[in-house]
Amino acid sequence: MAGEHSRSLLGEDKPKEACGVFGIYAPGQDVARITYYGLYALQHRGQESAGIAVSDGERITCRKGMGLVSEVFIEDTLEKLKGRMAFGHVRYTTDQDSIVENIEPQNFYYQQGMIAIGHNGNLTNSAVLRREMEQAGAVFQSTSDSELIISMIVRAGASDLISGILKTMEKIEGSYSLLLMTEKRMIGIRDPYGMRPLCLGRFGDGYVLASESCALDTVGAQFIRDVEPGEVVIIDEKGVTSLRPHQPHQKALCIFEFVYFARPDSVIDGLSVQKARYALGRELARENPLDADLVIPVPDSGTSSALAYATERGLPFSEGLMKNRYVGRTFIRPTQANRELGVRLKLNPIRDIIAGKRVIMIDDSIVRGTTSGRIVQMIRDAGAREVHLLVSSPPITHSCYYGIDTSGKGELIAATHCVDEIRQHIGADSLNYLSISGLQAAVAPICPEDICNACFCGDYPIQVSGDK
Amino acid sequence: MAGEHSRSLLGEDKPKEACGVFGIYAPGQDVARITYYGLYALQHRGQESAGIAVSDGERITCRKGMGLVSEVFIEDTLEKLKGRMAFGHVRYTTDQDSIVENIEPQNFYYQQGMIAIGHNGNLTNSAVLRREMEQAGAVFQSTSDSELIISMIVRAGASDLISGILKTMEKIEGSYSLLLMTEKRMIGIRDPYGMRPLCLGRFGDGYVLASESCALDTVGAQFIRDVEPGEVVIIDEKGVTSLRPHQPHQKALCIFEFVYFARPDSVIDGLSVQKARYALGRELARENPLDADLVIPVPDSGTSSALAYATERGLPFSEGLMKNRYVGRTFIRPTQANRELGVRLKLNPIRDIIAGKRVIMIDDSIVRGTTSGRIVQMIRDAGAREVHLLVSSPPITHSCYYGIDTSGKGELIAATHCVDEIRQHIGADSLNYLSISGLQAAVAPICPEDICNACFCGDYPIQVSGDK
Amino acid sequence: MAGEHSRSLLGEDKPKEACGVFGIYAPGQDVARITYYGLYALQHRGQESAGIAVSDGERITCRKGMGLVSEVFIEDTLEKLKGRMAFGHVRYTTDQDSIVENIEPQNFYYQQGMIAIGHNGNLTNSAVLRREMEQAGAVFQSTSDSELIISMIVRAGASDLISGILKTMEKIEGSYSLLLMTEKRMIGIRDPYGMRPLCLGRFGDGYVLASESCALDTVGAQFIRDVEPGEVVIIDEKGVTSLRPHQPHQKALCIFEFVYFARPDSVIDGLSVQKARYALGRELARENPLDADLVIPVPDSGTSSALAYATERGLPFSEGLMKNRYVGRTFIRPTQANRELGVRLKLNPIRDIIAGKRVIMIDDSIVRGTTSGRIVQMIRDAGAREVHLLVSSPPITHSCYYGIDTSGKGELIAATHCVDEIRQHIGADSLNYLSISGLQAAVAPICPEDICNACFCGDYPIQVSGDK
Amino acid sequence: MAGEHSRSLLGEDKPKEACGVFGIYAPGQDVARITYYGLYALQHRGQESAGIAVSDGERITCRKGMGLVSEVFIEDTLEKLKGRMAFGHVRYTTDQDSIVENIEPQNFYYQQGMIAIGHNGNLTNSAVLRREMEQAGAVFQSTSDSELIISMIVRAGASDLISGILKTMEKIEGSYSLLLMTEKRMIGIRDPYGMRPLCLGRFGDGYVLASESCALDTVGAQFIRDVEPGEVVIIDEKGVTSLRPHQPHQKALCIFEFVYFARPDSVIDGLSVQKARYALGRELARENPLDADLVIPVPDSGTSSALAYATERGLPFSEGLMKNRYVGRTFIRPTQANRELGVRLKLNPIRDIIAGKRVIMIDDSIVRGTTSGRIVQMIRDAGAREVHLLVSSPPITHSCYYGIDTSGKGELIAATHCVDEIRQHIGADSLNYLSISGLQAAVAPICPEDICNACFCGDYPIQVSGDK
């Protein structure tokens, strides 16, 4: 809820990530508490709800609620979640309803016992699959992909869960990094396109699965490797088993993990996010070698790129906008008459740094363009002589169907306006985006073919069912 | 939660009711708010959780939570629940887990749209049915009968909901007073034994269904009639349609509604609860014509019976125990060393009324016998010369499987002790229970054969599956 | 806050009590917890705020908040309040602001250390005294009498607190039952008129002071005696010391303690409240020997009087109105259009008891007359042929200045209307009040001269400063 | 409370600021809401409690509570705070008790009406003054300087508040930036040493006073000037009046505002905080021209200094430690056995940036030295070959008595250890602090004599009474 308010308050104009997952199999450890810390490290991936499910080998217990991890869990709740393995989920709603029934993990009873699920991603054929299941008599209590997936798995192989999973993977399309937990086993699955990240680590004698490696670092686990696209990782008393049931697809990792979502201290599919962001700034400098007195980032995500740009160009770099550390905690909204207050509550220009300067400002992306204009004006009001906006990713021209909330296509400013129109709208002296090839160069160790650029070019790796 | 604490605090030694339901179909009215008031009137039937589902004709929305009706709903929440019909549920857990997933109403998506359910009662063959459903591929998110019932209905007749309901009623056994709501219709069902009450009322041009008639009075609805055992009442834009699909069973109305559960201002199957309680006291007087200086009730439920007893016997009646009006609101438990404080926080004898007297104390029932002894001692400490305990119902010797929490048979003091042993345990000068025939006489307008006495005699009207 | 809402919701039309106090001096006992239980027993005297102060002999610590005792204190808070003595306060605002600064106990630092105060009553010359103090340089953080009293005590005798107290008692006028606590001593004071009750009990080797004896019973303390009007009781390691510094006034105990405020299980100045209420009904029967088919009380306070009336007149008594046990817990107010719902949420007539009957209804008092009319109508709607309202106290014609909120004189229906006008307003077939002499007879063991009847006759025992 | 937990959780090892104040005089504006936003911008100066007082010209109303500004105030509360002027306060406790009574603003009644106060600073002779006041009969409800100051003002000049203020300023010693508000006037006072900042701005036709200029920017006010040391600024319907009643002292502005406390986007006494921090890094580079592969800051406060150091030295700069944006919101503490987790939850090294490098890490200060060691180890574990710690301020060898919580002298690691011992304790390859002269050079536009360096050299500008 805090999240929702802060977003409307701040006119936040960024794509929204869907979810984060963290699981640990470590008998003898305080698995719920470790999961709490893991989710805490993944909080940036979803602020709307949080939940933790624990299995003691006989039974799965689950606690969850709306809000930040620290709001949902208190000492008392964690104390009661004892078991040999646990996994948790943080969530930001994309196209599903924001209702209590949708909070994950979701926990199910089926023929063989209990099974819990947590999901990061978005199925593209869920409407069709749901209709099929409903026609076969299924009922659903939520609108979540997770409930659909569990129904399919159980239907496909209740007596042999793994075979049910494999059959289900043949049918579901879209992006998914899943954690499943039965009483005895934890299972991690990454979709065949590897759209969303998922990695494996070691924790003492046990194992950890997490959306990002920063969660492994936080709990003190050692990174082993990324889960591979299409891979099913099964963790139980016998250790880790890996299945790769399907013919591999062309990989299609979401590029926005590097541009904006993931924490800089994470490493995804071998590439340091921080390094990728630095490289984005470097490419930006190569493509757009502007001259100016000062390079400033839009905090927090633009910092590395701005630093790279300044270094590459030999220009002075400085923090020119101060971000209120307590932002996102207010429930009091500015009145209609005072819209720009929303941005000022979040960001304040440092006049003494900016005044009289020709300023290059680096941002990571523009979705609707609502906030950028206010920031540019703020920089001008602080005395900048010129304001040049550089964006360390290409124009977003297409909606994402794979778990990212980039708003509907109609709201995407770059879908309906050319760059110069956007520049006028924002009021910048110049506006330049990074090219797709620049983007690909920046994440170079990852092959251009292995990346999903759909939001920049409309080249969707997975077809989307018409009515989804 | 308040409920749970108060129960442990107070050593409450009464059977626990499972649930209450209230539904209204009244386009143009503030149906959620009326449902709130209706639940408020039924709060005594369940204090653990509350929920309200609303349909606007297109879509069902549901809000629910742990706690009292007044704790779960605030003005804001009600404001958002707009529609043409609504129904609500208050719940006290019996044998199901106390988890968020079990809070009712439960809301489901199926082939034809949405359906919500609220349940008062307990199925006796749910374990068997659940297993059957699971073997056919069903998954469940809760341990509730309601989810099972919906799955069965949908499976049996997704394209024709009513036929699904009728088929499901052929299979499920046990007690149930159900409310179902689709986008367009509200459906009330009372099990073929009529174990739990359910009545129908008129509200302007619309209709109301409720567990007890007191809820109709509270919202200003007019009582029409009780829903009959085995009847299915369908309310939609065409008005009320009634189906009686099955050969009628021998009715078996739970006698405890009159002894303890229902509010005195309710009328169930034609009998005023208040009048029934008065008659219980009268029968008690006929069977046990004791002599004493004073008749006092154990508040609140014993009052009518005590008054009747005193009137019938020509003895002075007085309130001799004062009940703290704020009881049930504390979270601070007495320490182990100070157990009797639990009872004193709830009840305090009025010494000036009791001192030096031979006292007859009327209670409605004894389950485990833990509280009665403390109250008797309290009366003695207040100076009573003699304490005679009369119970306005027979000894509870058998557990209930139909939705009432009378504790396991091992905990029922009358299951393992004769009356004189119980008397000694309690420390009363005498102890007498009402006989079963006295009980039957008290509810006389209702035929003895139409009543479930199983908890007093073990004569269960519905067989219970072994493993439930 | 719960309190405020419930009052407006219910159209509660009763005088409001100001406060309750409970103190315990018992080194080695869990004094804060015992105080919690004591306040719990006194919760009926004030539902707006609650607080507990504890002294460990060196330092006073205080915790307090808005709401019921059970809402303000949780286990954690009590755990931290360790000491050798403690006292607490529950409060309902009368003419003072409902602000956090006014919550009691209030705790002060002065020359000799710390002193905490809790107050039940109302000073009549506080405005004058406050002005005097302010002219001498005092500043106040609240509008409470308590802060004024402490300032006066300290100013009058900072180096000798007791002499400061005695000097202050010479100046303050009005009603007050005070508890004071320094690091080492607890002091109880009852005003020279004895307007508000205060009693002394023994708890093991220690002592208890409380507004009502029911609190002593609840915590397991033994009643010793009432504190006398004008008496100062000092409890410390030397035991109990009593001072009676001033020439005794004519006592003027507030009669409303017996009519409505106090719990029936309390004994005040030697008279059982329950017995007094019974006697009120008996006197009502002597003065107004009506004939009817049924006598019913307005719950809860009218029960004893109604029972007495019925017994005295040989008429059938029954509970004819059912009170919702959960009343006072709702925050959802009925809409303007649906005013009578307010009463129905609280009270529901038992139709089967009332229908066709000539009903005598006994209430304890009428303040503004807003609720009575609705209840009479409700009884008629339930089928009563006649409704006769008997009030077990005289018409309230004058405001109270001594700590009871009877509303302003303009709002008192009996201040501006004769009995027959009130009857018409209410819609009863007849309306009769108890006479003042009947009231005096009912509390007979207490001398008529020792009672404050000001609200019935305007004969104020203490003059009120013009601008208070 | 969040604050307290986060501090213990994180082993935060920084000086603690005491308070922030924000006031606005602007009839016709939504002054409470503007104050809310102003406090939101000053939240970094105190997270323990927040409060807002409003005057409508007749009466002062105050709302306050424990927690962050956004936790204390909801829309409803702000709606009710209507007036022509308002001021607010955020607080972090230093040596006063963390009790409700100490939350500011504190609001007082005195002879002429009402007066509210909010304070940033710490009096050094309060114990003596308090004793004097108590001997003259004063009582206090809190241990705050504010209550003492108001008592003194009222005592010294109740009929002429301004003269009371001037007389009080003659007696009180220590640091104070005060806001006072009567029904008609707002008064800002900065102590004669100008220890704590306070500035004046214009808001439409009205005026604003704030601890830092960033709050003016946030609400859209224009900076006019800093309030001068010893100046009294009176704002009322006549506009702004300024008094400078006393012979000016040698100014002694707290240097830590530039080193750590103030927001970088604030300008204090003419110096941009951001620029000062940059200059600290530059001076550090001049004094300690180390060679390395990488310069990284300890976020957030070390960033500017690190950037300056890197630029000055021609070394690569990068963010090498990632800070969890959600830090400070957890209530779940790491167990004893897992202490370093506390730091890992807050900070995570970016291994790809650090591994194999000789790293220079810039921090702004070291108090107890508890956290620095863990961070150094973390950097080493991430593969750094060398870790050189540079501190952009001198060793803290003396406690602060002027409103900053630097812990007791015994806890200050630099009070008892030489730099090399600290280096060993921390485990760095080298450790260097900025010199006092370097510090003075960095804030150069401010005269060295005008700065309080007491915590670095023990040269206290104001004497401290022995028993404070």
Residues of chain B in contact with residue C275, where contact means CB-CB under 8 angstroms, are: 352-353
D180: distance to nearest CA of chain A, Å? 26
Looking at chain A, which residue has its C-alpha nearest residue B109?
A140
User: What pLDDT score was predicted for residue B149?
Assistant: 96
Residue B160 neighbours by CB distance under 10 Å: 12
> What's the predicted TM-score (pTM) here?
0.86
Instruction: Please check whether residue A245 lies inside any domain of the structure.
Output: yes
* Helix locations, D107-249, DSSP H: 126-135, 145-157, 161-171, 213-219
Asked whether residue A362 falls in the same domain as residue A306, the answer is yes
| Chains C and B: 3 or more CB pairs within 8 Å of each other | yes
* pLDDT category of residue A468 using cuts at 50, 70 and 90: very low
Q: Do C111 and D101 touch (CB under 8 A)?
A: no
Residue C444 neighbours by CB distance under 10 Å: 12
Question: In sequence order, which residues have a C-beta less than 8 Å from that of residue B457 and are 6 or more positions away?
Answer: B394, B397, B398, B436
Of B106, B111, B130, the CB nearest to A134: B111
Instruction: Please check whether residue C6 lies inside any domain of the structure.
Output: yes
Assess whether C19 carries a catalytic annotation.
yes
Report yes or no: A131 at the D interface, CB cutoff 8 Å. Answer: no
Determine the Cα–Cα distance for residues D285 and D275; give it in Å rounded to an integer.
15
Q: Assign 3-class secondary structure to D285-340.
A: HHHCCCCCCEEEECCCCCHHHHHHHHHHHCCCECCCEEECCCCCCCCCCCCHHHCH
- Taken in order C67, C70, C76, C77, is the CA torsion positive or negative? positive
Contact C397, C456 (CB under 8 A): yes
- State which residues form the domain around C146: 2-249
Report yes or no: C168 at the D interface, CB cutoff 8 Å. Answer: no
Q: Give the least confident one: C150-154, C338-342, D125-129, D434-438.
A: C338-342
Single out the residue in B249, B283, B314 at which a domain terminates. Answer: B249
Terminal-residue alpha carbon distance, chain A:
26
Which position has the token pair 């407006």? C8
φ/ψ bin of B64: left (φ > 0), alpha (ψ from -120 to 50), beta (otherwise):
beta
Q: Is the backbone peptide bond immediately before C445 cis, with ω within 30 degrees of 0?
A: no
Structural tokens at position B269 = 């199957």
Report yes or no: C258 at the B interface, CB cutoff 8 Å. Answer: no
Residues forming a β-bridge with C25: C85, C207
Contacts 24+ apart (CB under 8 A), B426-429: B426/B366, B426/B369, B426/B372, B426/B373, B426/B376, B426/B389, B427/B373, B427/B376, B427/B377, B427/B380, B427/B387, B428/B372, B428/B376, B428/B387, B428/B388, B428/B389, B429/B386, B429/B387, B429/B388
Q: What is the mean pLDDT of the segment spanning A418-442?
A: 97
Report yes or no: B112 at the C interface, CB cutoff 8 Å. Answer: no
Q: Do B40 and C71 touch (CB under 8 A)?
A: no
Q: Give the least confident one: A57-66, B88-97, C178-187, D227-236.
A: B88-97
D345: distance to nearest CA of chain C, Å? 27
Asked whether residue C283 falls in the same domain as residue C136, the answer is no
Asked whether residue B207 falls in the same domain as residue B348, the answer is no
Task: Round the CA-based radius of gyration of chain D to a whole number and report it.
Answer: 23
Q: What is the mean pLDDT of the segment spanning A194-205?
A: 96
User: What pLDDT score was predicted for residue D159?
Assistant: 76
* pLDDT category of residue A8 using cuts at 50, 70 and 90: very low
List per-residue pLDDT tens for chain B, 468 residues long. Answer: 233 333 333 345 666 666 999 999 999 999 999 999 999 999 999 888 899 999 999 999 999 888 889 888 888 788 889 999 999 999 876 444 456 677 899 999 998 899 999 999 989 999 999 999 988 888 998 888 999 999 999 988 767 899 999 999 999 999 999 999 999 999 999 999 999 999 999 999 999 999 999 999 999 999 999 999 999 999 999 999 999 988 777 899 999 999 999 999 999 999 999 999 999 999 999 999 999 999 999 988 789 999 999 999 999 999 999 998 887 655 555 555 566 677 888 899 999 999 999 999 999 999 888 889 999 999 999 999 999 999 999 999 998 888 776 666 778 999 999 999 999 999 999 999 999 999 999 999 899 999 999 999 999 998 876 544
Q: Do B70 and C332 touch (CB under 8 A)?
A: yes
Contact C111, D134 (CB under 8 A): yes
Asked whether residue B232 falls in the same domain as residue B374, the answer is no
Q: Count contacts between A and D (CB, < 8 Å).
A: 169
Contact B355, B384 (CB under 8 A): yes
Report yes or no: C300 at the B interface, CB cutoff 8 Å. Answer: yes
Q: Which 3 state secondary structure label does DSSP give C273?
A: helix
Determine the Cα–Cα distance for residues A381 and B325; give it in Å rounded to an integer.
63
Report yes or no: D141 at the C interface, CB cutoff 8 Å. Answer: yes
Instruction: Please check whether residue D260 lies inside any domain of the structure.
Output: no
Instruction: Please check whether residue D284 lies inside any domain of the structure.
Output: yes
Residues of chain B in contact with residue A100, where contact means CB-CB under 8 angstroms, are: 64, 100
Q: What is the mean pLDDT of the segment spanning C157-168?
A: 88
Report yes or no: D261 at the A interface, CB cutoff 8 Å. Answer: no
Q: Do B141 and A137 touch (CB under 8 A)?
A: no
Residue type, position A79, single letter: E
Structural tokens at position C134 = 């302010």
Contact C21, C87 (CB under 8 A): yes
Q: Is the backbone peptide bond immediately before A445 cis, with ω within 30 degrees of 0?
A: no
Report yes or no: C150 at the D interface, CB cutoff 8 Å. Answer: yes
Contact B191, B176 (CB under 8 A): yes
Asked whether residue B237 falls in the same domain as residue B329, the answer is no
Determine the Cα–Cα distance for residues A165 and A157; give it in Å rounded to an integer.
8
Determine the Cα–Cα distance for residues A340 and D204; give it in Å rounded to an integer.
16
ipTM: 0.89
Asked whether residue A61 falls in the same domain as residue A98, the answer is yes
B425: distance to nearest CA of chain C, Å? 23
Question: In sequence order, which residues have a C-beta less than 8 Å from that of residue D61 and are 6 or more positions away?
Answer: D53, D54, D55, D80, D81, D83
Asked whether residue D358 falls in the same domain as residue D417, the answer is yes
Q: Count contacts between B and C (CB, < 8 Å).
A: 170
Of D107, D131, D137, the CB nearest to C141: D107
Of B40, B74, B274, the CB nearest to C352: B274
Instruction: Please check whether residue A1 lies inside any domain of the structure.
Output: no
User: What pLDDT score was predicted for residue A339?
Assistant: 61
Report yes or no: B111 at the A interface, CB cutoff 8 Å. Answer: yes
Terminal-residue alpha carbon distance, chain B:
26
Contact D36, D57 (CB under 8 A): no
Q: Which of residues 329-388 of C touch D (CB under 8 A)?
A: none
Q: Which chains touch C (3 or more CB pairs under 8 A)?
A: B, D
Q: What does C228-272 look like in DSSP terms, one character per residue?
A: PTT-EEEEETTEEEEE--SPPPPP-EETHIIIIIS-TT-EETTEE
User: What pLDDT score was predicted for residue B344?
Assistant: 84
Q: What is the mean pLDDT of the segment spanning C406-414?
A: 77
Question: In sequence order, which residues have a C-beta less than 8 Å from that of residue D143 and are 6 or more positions away?
Answer: C109, D96, D97, D99, D102
C377: distance to nearest CA of chain B, Å? 13
Q: Give the least confident one: A266-280, A333-347, C384-398.
A: A333-347
Q: Give the least confident one: A75-79, A165-169, A420-424, D212-216.
A: A75-79
User: What pLDDT score was predicted for residue B93?
Assistant: 61
Of D443, D433, D348, D339, residue with least CA distance to D393:
D433
Largest CA distance in chain D: 72
Determine the Cα–Cα distance for residues D26 and D202; give it in Å rounded to an integer.
9
Contact A453, A446 (CB under 8 A): no
Higher pLDDT, A96 or A54: A54
| Chains D and B: 3 or more CB pairs within 8 Å of each other | no
Residue D160 neighbours by CB distance under 10 Å: 12
A427: distance to nearest CA of chain D, Å? 20
Number of domains into which chain B is organized: 2
Q: Do C71 and B218 touch (CB under 8 A)?
A: no
Looking at chain C, which residue has its C-alpha nearest residue B219?
C341
Q: Do B330 and C33 touch (CB under 8 A)?
A: no
* pLDDT category of residue C11 using cuts at 50, 70 and 90: very low
In a 13 Å sphere around the CA of A145, the CA atoms on its Cβ side amount to 30
User: What pLDDT score was predicted for residue C338?
Assistant: 61
User: What pLDDT score was predicted for residue C341?
Assistant: 76
Instruction: Please check whether residue B38 lies inside any domain of the structure.
Output: yes
List per-residue pLDDT tens for chain D, 468 residues long. Answer: 233 333 333 345 666 666 999 999 999 999 999 999 999 999 999 888 899 999 999 999 999 888 889 888 888 788 889 999 999 999 876 444 456 677 899 999 998 899 999 999 989 999 999 999 988 888 998 888 999 999 999 988 767 899 999 999 999 999 999 999 999 999 999 999 999 999 999 999 999 999 999 999 999 999 999 999 999 999 999 999 999 988 777 899 999 999 999 999 999 999 999 999 999 999 999 999 999 999 999 988 789 999 999 999 999 999 999 998 887 655 555 555 566 677 888 899 999 999 999 999 999 999 888 889 999 999 999 999 999 999 999 999 998 888 776 666 778 999 999 999 999 999 999 999 999 999 999 999 899 999 999 999 999 998 876 544
Catalytic residue among D19, D214, D452, D455: D19
Report yes or no: D304 at the A interface, CB cutoff 8 Å. Answer: yes
In a 13 Å sphere around the CA of C419, the CA atoms on its Cβ side amount to 13
| Helix-then-strand count for chain A, H and E | 18, 23
What are the C-alpha distances in Å from D342 to residues A40, B107, D325, D424? 12, 42, 15, 22
Asked whether residue C176 falls in the same domain as residue C77, the answer is yes
Higher pLDDT, A178 or D401: A178
Residues forming a β-bridge with D110: D113
Report yes or no: D36 at the A interface, CB cutoff 8 Å. Answer: yes
Instruction: Please check whether residue A340 lies inside any domain of the structure.
Output: yes
Higher pLDDT, A200 or D369: A200
Report yes or no: D160 at the C interface, CB cutoff 8 Å. Answer: no
State the average pLDDT for chain C.
89
Structural tokens at position D75 = 């829309």
Of A63, A219, A325, residue with least CA distance to D328:
A325
Residue D437 neighbours by CB distance under 10 Å: 12
CATH number at residue C30: 3.60.20.10
Report yes or no: D158 at the C interface, CB cutoff 8 Å. Answer: yes
Q: Do B110 and A141 touch (CB under 8 A)?
A: no
pLDDT at C344 over 90: no
Q: What is the mean pLDDT of the segment spanning A243-258?
A: 89
User: What pLDDT score was predicted for residue B7?
Assistant: 34
Which position has the token pair 């075979």? A163
Asked whether residue B208 falls in the same domain as residue B310, the answer is no
pLDDT at C3 over 60: no
Q: What does D404-436 look like in DSSP terms, one character per residue?
A: -B---GGG-HHHHS-HHHHHHHHT-SEEEE--H
Instruction: Please check whether residue B261 lies inside any domain of the structure.
Output: no
How many residues comprise chain B?
468
Contact C194, C214 (CB under 8 A): no
Determine the Cα–Cα distance for residues D67 and D86; give it in Å rounded to an integer.
20
Asked whether residue C108 falls in the same domain as residue C198, the answer is yes
B384: distance to nearest CA of chain A, Å? 45
Q: Do C70 and B330 touch (CB under 8 A)?
A: yes
* pLDDT category of residue C75 using cuts at 50, 70 and 90: confident
Asked whether residue D207 falls in the same domain as residue D285, the answer is no
Asked whether residue C291 falls in the same domain as residue C241, the answer is no
Determine the Cα–Cα distance for residues C374 and C377; give it in Å rounded to an integer.
5
Q: What is the mean pLDDT of the segment spanning A391-406?
A: 87
Determine the Cα–Cα distance for residues D77 and D82; give it in Å rounded to an integer.
10
Q: Do A70 and D344 touch (CB under 8 A)?
A: no
Q: Counting Cβ atoms within 10 Å, is residue C58 exposed (0-12), middle (13-18) or buried (19+)?
A: exposed
Label residues B396-429 b or e (16+ Cβ within 10 Å = b).
bbbbbbbbbbbbeeeebbbbeeeeeebbebbbbb
Structural tokens at position A440 = 């690909």
pLDDT at A81 over 50: yes
In a 13 Å sphere around the CA of D364, the CA atoms on its Cβ side amount to 25
Single out the residue in A249, A283, A306 at which a domain terminates. Answer: A249
Residues forming a β-bridge with D85: D25, D55
Determine the Cα–Cα distance for residues A381 and A349; give it in Å rounded to an integer.
9
CATH number at residue C372: 3.40.50.2020
Q: What positions of B carry a catalytic annotation?
A: 19
